[in-house]
Amino acid sequence: MIEFWATVLALAILLYVTLDGFDLGVGMLFPFAPDEAGRRQMLASISPVWDGNETWLVVAAATLFGAFPLVYSILLSAFYLPLLVMLAGLILRGVAFEFRYKTERFRWVWDAGFVAGSYAAAFIQGTAVGAIVQGLPIENGAYAGEPFAWARPFALLCGVGLCIGYAMIGACWIAGKAHGELRTFAFGALPRLLGALAAFLAVVFAWSLLIDLPVLQRWIERPLLLLCPAVGLGAFIMLMRSVRRGDDRRLFLAGAAIFAAAFATLAGSFLPYILPFSLTLRQAAAPEASLDFLFWGAGLFVLPLTLAYTAAVYVIFRGRVRADQGYH
C-alpha cells in the first residue's frame, strides 16, 4: 500500500506541475500580450480548466497529510512562510479572473494581481524544489532549520528556472489555442524562452557539480536514469523544430514531455527516499491500517473521479478559442 500512495503522490505532483504550470505560465506572459483582445483570449483559453488544474495541488497535499504525515509536518515547518505567499498568490489569481471584467478604471489592479500571483506561485514552487534537492536540515524526524533556511542561492535559482519552464509551456498552450496576433506572439516568445531554459539547465547543472549535490551520485549508481534527460532532450529538439515550422500540433505535448522527464529524473534519483537523503518512504508512511482506510475512499473513488473529470474537461473544451472570446 505504501507503493500505491507513493505513486498517487507522484502522479498528483506531475499533473499539477504540468497542468497548473501552463496556466501559471499564461499568467506570467499576460502583461506581454499584444492588446486587450489578446489578454481576453489568454484568459478564455484557461478559464475552463484552471480551477480543475489546482485540484491536483489539493490531491498532493491531502496525500501527504494522510499517507505521509511526517513529510507533511516537515515541509510545512520548513516552508510555512513561502507556502502562505503561494496560497495568497493562487487566491489572488482566482479573484482577478472575475473582478477584472467588472471594472474598467481599476482593471489594471486586477491584471497586476493576476500576474503577481502567477509569478509568486511559480517562483515559490521552484524554490521549494531546489531547497528539497539541496537537502533540508532534519533531526529526529522534525525540521531543524531556520525560518528562511530555504532561501539559499541554489534554491532561488531553481525558483527562477521554474518560472521560465512554466512560461515556456504556457506559450506552447497559447500557440495551440489562440488565433492571429496572439498566436504569433506565442511563437515569437518560444525561442527566447527555450534559450533561457537551456541556459538555466546548463547553469544549474554546473552549480550542482560545484556544490557536489548528493543527488548527482545517484546518476553514477543508476546509469539508467540518464534515459530521462535523454527523453527530455528529444522533446526539447522536437519543440524547437515545431517552433521553426510554425506547427502547433505537438508543442504542448513536447513541453509536457520535458516536465515529465525532469520529474522522472528527480524521482528516480530520490527513491527510496521521499526527502533526500534523510527520510525513506517506509519511514515516512502512516500506519498500514490508515493507508488501507484511505484506499477504500480516496484511492478507490475520489482519485478515479478526479482523473475522469480532468480528462473530460480537456476533451470537451479542446480546440481553439475564438478571437473575440472572453472569460465568460
Structural domain of 180? 2-292
Task: Identify whether 47 is part of a domain.
Answer: yes
Indicate if the pLDDT at residue 181 is higher than 60. yes
Number of domains in the chain: 1
Could you please report the per-residue DSSP string of 165-190? HHHHHHHHHHHHH--HHHHHHHHHHH
Report whether 173 contacts 31 (CB < 8 A). Answer: no
Closest CA to 45 of 21, 28, 26: 26
Residue 172: pLDDT band by 50, 70, 90 thresholds? very high
Closest CA to 171 of 184, 189, 159: 189
Indicate if the pLDDT at residue 12 is higher than 70. yes
| Better pLDDT: 314 or 212 | 314
Residue 138: pLDDT band by 50, 70, 90 thresholds? confident
* CATH number of 15's domain: 1.20.1630
Task: Identify whether 109 is part of a domain.
Answer: yes
Q: Which residues contact 148 (CB under 8 A, 6 or more apart)?
A: 81
Task: Identify whether 328 is part of a domain.
Answer: no
Highest averaged pLDDT of the listed ranges 49-63, 95-109, 201-215? 49-63
Task: Identify whether 200 is part of a domain.
Answer: yes
Task: Identify whether 318 is part of a domain.
Answer: no
Task: Identify whether 306 is part of a domain.
Answer: no
Sign of CA dihedral 13, 19, 21, 24: negative
- Kindly report the pTM of this predicted structure: 0.92
Task: Identify whether 301 is part of a domain.
Answer: no
Closest CA to 141 of 75, 199, 47: 75
Task: Identify whether 315 is part of a domain.
Answer: no
Indicate if the pLDDT at residue 241 is higher than 80. yes
**Separation CA 41–CA 183 (nearest Å):** 10
Q: What is the mean pLDDT of the chain?
A: 88
Q: What is the DSSP letter of 280?
A: E
Amino acid type, 236: F
